[in-house]
Structure 1
């Protein structure tokens, strides 16, 4: 089977005085967990919006939204709520506007997720603890931190080799790489249909994902 394979690299702008560690810290993981719970709770309380089909995963300050909703307004409001969590530095809205009858194969996605995690765990060239894996209808999302771009490419190739995977999207911060920031307030305002909300000065913004479909991939032995 030919796997359609592309990688989207997401790099974090580092604060000038911030110390960078190539590991996911306990404090960062706790912030991510609290942000995820906060967003899910807000979606549960949202009146007039059908958000029960939205899944939320926050890793290293990036909120990944997946699933399906019946209307574009629902999709946009889900992103608005994701931006409301102060620990969220960027939002990747992968929610689809689709017929409610479109079912997700949760069991298949769970199997794919476990297979990808297993491959990363067995590869000593990849620090698997720094990566989070999510699967949605055959599409695999990699989140977290990569020590080098080569490590990220290797992790992405592992995911692409799992049976049933159709796409690999890597939303990963590569240590030491930087890029021009995207205003957090403006992106939140666009999602919420209101005025820009000032970003917390302690939370650097993330640039938009860059599509690098032709990026070289390190061969796996």
Structure 2
């Protein structure tokens, strides 16, 4: 028996899942790349602090800013209205205690459309599904963020594991570019 959903329900379902993309953070075992709970909590605190600082700044309200934090390394993606806003977001990130590094991938220009954001969510979902199906990597330790067709990869990985992940991502239709923000172990 096949169940078919109307397109609007499928779209609503995808939107509901969008906040969950890129949320896996630790492995179940204590092997290489394991991140203890305090490390995960520290990343969450950094992200929450940065989001609050961005929300408190009216000059940044018109931008579409994404914040990802993994192992105290901050990745900024999205769009901002001008170079001053981009510099302000990076400055806010660098001022937070315990931030080791900031990777500023913000683009100056108009915000992406809802259609593009849905496509990015779809790409992230396809990539995560392919990674989960791979026997050569632990997909739970790799964060995937897609913005305007560009796929950003974060996590604690071995070099050969990074190569495998990049190979998987490269084979997904619609990926414009791959940016590795890995920390190698």
TM range (shorter): 0.7 to 0.9
Q: Normalized against structure 2, the TM-score is what?
A: 0.77
- 1:201 matched residue in structure 2: none
- What is the alpha-carbon distance in structure 2 between the residues aligned to residue 51 and residue 88 of structure 1? 25
- 2:74 matched residue in structure 1: 63
Match runs of 1:120-139 below 5 Å: 120-139=131-150
Higher relative contact order (CA 8 A, sep 6+): 1
State whether residues 44 and 51 of structure 1, in contact with CA within 8 Å, keep that contact through their aligned partners in structure 2. no
State whether residues 153 and 180 of structure 2, in contact with CA within 8 Å, keep that contact through their aligned partners in structure 1. yes
Give aligned pairs, total. Answer: 154
- 1:37 matched residue in structure 2: 48
State whether residues 32 and 87 of structure 1, in contact with CA within 8 Å, keep that contact through their aligned partners in structure 2. no
State whether residues 40 and 56 of structure 1, in contact with CA within 8 Å, keep that contact through their aligned partners in structure 2. yes
Is residue 2:167 matched to residue 1:174? no
- What is the alpha-carbon distance in structure 1 between the residues aligned to residue 97 and residue 133 of structure 2? 35
- 1:152 matched residue in structure 2: 162
After TM superposition, the runs of 4+ consecutive aligned structure 1 residues lying more than 4 A away are: none
How far apart are 1:50 and its partner, in Å?
4.1
Q: Normalized against structure 1, the TM-score is what?
A: 0.65
Is residue 2:113 matched to residue 1:103? yes
Q: Which structure dedicates a bigger proportion of its chain to helix?
A: 2
- 2:88 matched residue in structure 1: 77
Does the C-alpha gap of structure 1 residues 124 and 154 become closer, same or farther in structure 2, counting only changes over 3 Å?
same
State whether residues 66 and 94 of structure 1, in contact with CA within 8 Å, keep that contact through their aligned partners in structure 2. yes
State whether residues 66 and 93 of structure 1, in contact with CA within 8 Å, keep that contact through their aligned partners in structure 2. yes
Structure 2 unaligned regions, length at least 5: 1-30
State whether residues 55 and 61 of structure 2, in contact with CA within 8 Å, keep that contact through their aligned partners in structure 1. no
Structure 1 unaligned regions, length at least 5: 1-19, 176-221
How far apart are 1:158 and its partner, in Å?
0.7
How far apart are 1:60 and its partner, in Å?
1.4
The alignment yields a C-alpha RMSD, in angstroms, of: 1.7
- What is the alpha-carbon distance in structure 1 between the residues aligned to residue 180 and residue 59 of structure 2? 33
